Amino acid sequence: MREGNHMERRSAVGLVTTLLLVAACGPSGGETAATTSTTSPAATTTAVITADTTSPTVMVTSSTTTAAPKQEAATTTTSPAPPRNLDEELSEFDDLEGFLDELDDMLGNL
């Protein structure tokens, strides 16, 4: 009987602890966990509470996920690639040659 009570007390404490954890995370807890998972390889616990309005019982399910290792590309600065087409990069200056010819004509008529 004492052992049964002890089991009940442990379950109640576990449930309360879980509820407190969920309450502490709040609605943004999932986001925090998700953010953490992208930046840290540590395992996190996400709790989802489903409330049944017709029943006084609160069902709590929990799952454990392990975040993927942090990607190096996200933090390392890479050198810009050389231009694929230099002529294309400089196309806005294509008219400089014609402009210069125009100036030569102008200066020749002074």
Partner 1 sequence: MKTMRRSIILAIVLAVTAAPAAAFAQQDTGGRDATTTSTVTDERDHRLLDELKARALQMIDHQLDALGRLRSAIGNSAHITDDHAVQLLGDISAAAADLEQLAREVEAATTVPEVWQLIRQIPGFQIGNVLAPKTHQVIASDSLVAFGGKLDRFAAKLEGLITRAEENGHDVDEAWRMLEDMNGQIAEGVRSADPVAESVIGLQADDWPDPAQSVLGAGRRDLHAAGQSLRVAFGTGKGIVEILRNLFDAASDV
Residues near partner 1 (CB under 8 A) are: 79-83, 86, 89-90, 92-93, 96-97, 99-100, 102-104, 106-107, 109-110
CA dihedral 4, 8, 10, 11 (to 10 degrees): 140
Residues 23, 49: contact at Cβ < 8 Å? no
Cα Rg, the chain, nearest whole Å: 33
Q: How far is the CB of 106 from partner 1 (least distance, A)?
A: 5
Q: Which is nearer to partner 1, 14 or 83 (CB)?
A: 83
As a whole number of angstroms, the distance between CA 21 and CA 40 comes to: 20
Q: Which is nearer to partner 1, 42 or 110 (CB)?
A: 110
Q: How far is the CB of 39 from partner 1 (least distance, A)?
A: 27
